[in-house]
Every structure is written in structure tokens, then in C-alpha cells.
Amino acid sequence: MEKYRKLIIVGSYLGITGLILSFFSVSFGTAIADIWLNTITGVVDTRKYELIMQSNTNNFLVIGSILVSVSIVSIIFSWYRMLDINDK
């Protein structure tokens, strides 16, 4: 039963991390694109900057969504197993 409690705790941390990545994906994506822009010397096309910003934003959104999904599955599985153990 202790291992399921630990899995619930790990799942909760993954869920919180995933939510943070999802909700702040625009800020993180823009920050990384700004860092990339500062490292480039010379002229940069605006469309290229927007593409890099959008792809970084999408990356954070996808990673956050995956973490939240894994978190939900692990918490529901652990909760179900703990109820099953208590019923026996």
C-alpha cells in the first residue's frame, strides 16, 4: 500500500509540473525564442522568429499535456489499487 501512496505523490508532482508547463508555455516559448534572437548577429526574418517561438510554445504545451495525462492515469490506478487492497 505504501508504494501506491508514493505513486500518488509522484503523480501529483508530475501533474503540477505538467500544468505549469501547459499554462506558461507561451512565456517559456517566448523566452527561449528571445534567447535565440539575442545569440543571432545580424538581421533575422520575423517569420523565422515567429516560427521558432511557436514551435517552442507547442513543445512546452505537448510536454505539459503528456505529464498531466501520465499523472492522471497513475493517480487513478493507484487509487483503484488502494481501494482494492482495502476491500480484501
CB 37 within 8 A of CB 49: yes
- Going from the C-alpha of 58 to that of each of 1, 6, 63, the distances in angstroms are 38, 31, 9
Q: Looking at residues 20-38, what average pLDDT do you find?
A: 95
Give the confidence band of 88 by pLDDT, cuts at 50, 70, 90. Answer: low
Range of the domain at 15: 2-87
pLDDT tens, 37-66? 999 888 889 999 999 999 999 999 999 999
Number of domains in the chain: 1
The phi-psi region of residue 42 (left if phi > 0; otherwise alpha if psi is between -120 and 50; otherwise beta) is: left
Q: Is the pLDDT of residue 86 over 80?
A: no
Task: pLDDT band for 85, please (50, 70, 90 cuts).
Answer: confident
pTM: 0.86
Average of per-residue pLDDT across 56-83: 94
